[in-house]
Amino acid sequence: MAKFVTIGERLSVTAPTVNKAFAARDEEPILKRAKQQLDAGAVYLDVNIGPAENDGEDIMKWAVELLQSNFDNVPLALDTSNKKAIEAGISVYNRSKGKPIVNSADAAGRIEYVDLAAANDAIVIALCNGEGIAKDNDERMMYCQTLLERGMEHGMEPTDLWFDPLFLVVKGMQDKQMEVLEAIKMFSDMGLNSTGGLSNNSNGMPKHTGGFTNNFEYKGFDLSIFFQWSYGNDVLNANRLFFENSNKTRDLNQYASYADRWTPENPESNIPRATDSGSNKVFSTRIIEDGSFLRLKTVSLGYTLPKQLTKKWKIDNARVFVAGQNLWTCTGYSGYDPEVSIREGALTPGLDFSAYPRAYSISFGVNLGF
């Protein structure tokens, strides 16, 4: 196999077009996206059918046969939390161009996916995390060792585990990215393969930002309004990993939206089903949201008293006012504040993990001139 392998990840149910195509077994959108990725240089194609608890086996078999029959047995990564669907896909998979990839296992609730890969002579994406993202490379290597030992216990070749150190936001947390690059070198020095889900990273930088101010005066009244906007920025809403994810080991309250999770009666939901394990807590495009917004940043209303009145008080001028900040925000983002950063700085835009939203304020005052 080549030293560098590109995995195309645009066949995912997180895209409404793909989700509908999988549900309806509509070939055209799937083949179109597959061809675009292969023409751009993809070697493997990732087939992400989501939880697919209802008819995942049929969907995966259909997708594998469709893609391999149209694109000369293109190798595939089978991406779902439904293990039976992965097995169904492998049962019709043609290995002439490469082994199937099981996407993915971790060192906690999803470690059994290593067993699944071993039982089916497949490659597995091994995420270097446990119940959460590793805080440093020592922890990454600990998770790596757990996964490697599990695979070798089941007869896997070490090179069939592709270790993902989990990239964070490249545009921001530069110190953490250096650790990730060091981890990749450590894997290489150990003779292991590594991979990275770059397409899972959100783009916290907007396509454009701006604002506009209007000032009005009428007789003694003045009104100033400032609107601010941001367009095209993404937010990785990590809160949803914990509060749209049943896990009895943590006993956390859940968002109201968790009532709409996957059930046999609600198979179209992209919120994972209730489970006792941590297997639902996986970083994916499910938790990346559009962070575009329009905000009423500041507004001020004032009244300047007539000169005739202020002269009696021996005051040159007097103005009373009321002012507000962050009074209203229009956004499709489900969190508290789309203009968010977990480190409260400009270098980590678009990461939301229990960050405090911007406070709104209302103030009253008097300006006096003597």
Residue 276 has pLDDT above 60, yes or no: yes
User: Quick check: pTM over 0.85?
Assistant: no
- Residue, of 196 and 61, whose pLDDT is higher: 61
- Residue, of 364 and 50, whose pLDDT is higher: 364
Q: If pLDDT is split at 50, 70 and 90, which confidence band does 25 have?
A: very high
Residue 43 has pLDDT above 70, yes or no: yes
What pLDDT is recorded for position 134? 79
Q: Are 137 and 176 in contact (CB under 8 A)?
A: no
Residue 235 has pLDDT above 90, yes or no: no
Residue 175 has pLDDT above 70, yes or no: no
> pLDDT tens across 107-122, in order?
988 999 999 999 999 9
Domain residue ranges of the chain, discontinuous segments joined by + = 7-200, 208-235+290-369
* Chain mean pLDDT for the chain: 86
Q: If pLDDT is split at 50, 70 and 90, which confidence band does 344 have?
A: very low
Least confident of 10-14, 112-116, 151-155, 348-352: 348-352
| CA–CA separation, 76 and 89 (whole Å) | 10
SS3 (DSSP) at 157: coil
What pLDDT is recorded for position 270? 79
Average pLDDT over every residue of 218-226 = 95
Q: Quick one: which of 77, 74, 7, 91 has its CA closest to 49?
A: 77
What pLDDT is recorded for position 252? 76
What are the strands, taking DSSP E only, across 6-62?
A: 7-12, 44-48
What pLDDT is recorded for position 249? 52
What pLDDT is recorded for position 173? 52
What pLDDT is recorded for position 86? 97
7-200 domain in CATH 3.20.20.20? Answer: yes
| CA–CA separation, 192 and 365 (whole Å) | 66
Average pLDDT over every residue of 150-163 = 95
Residue 124 has pLDDT above 90, yes or no: yes
Cis before 361? omega within 30:
no
What pLDDT is recorded for position 282? 66
Share of the chain above pLDDT 70, in %: 87
Environment class of 356 (CB within 10 Å of its CB; exposed 0-12, middle 13-18, buried 19+)? exposed
Cis before 104? omega within 30:
yes
What pLDDT is recorded for position 201? 47
| CA–CA separation, 53 and 308 (whole Å) | 78
| CA–CA separation, 109 and 279 (whole Å) | 5
Average pLDDT over every residue of 35-47 = 95
> pLDDT tens across 280-297, in order?
666 677 888 899 999 999
> pLDDT tens across 194-219, in order?
988 765 444 566 778 899 999 999 99
What pLDDT is recorded for position 248? 56
What pLDDT is recorded for position 36? 95
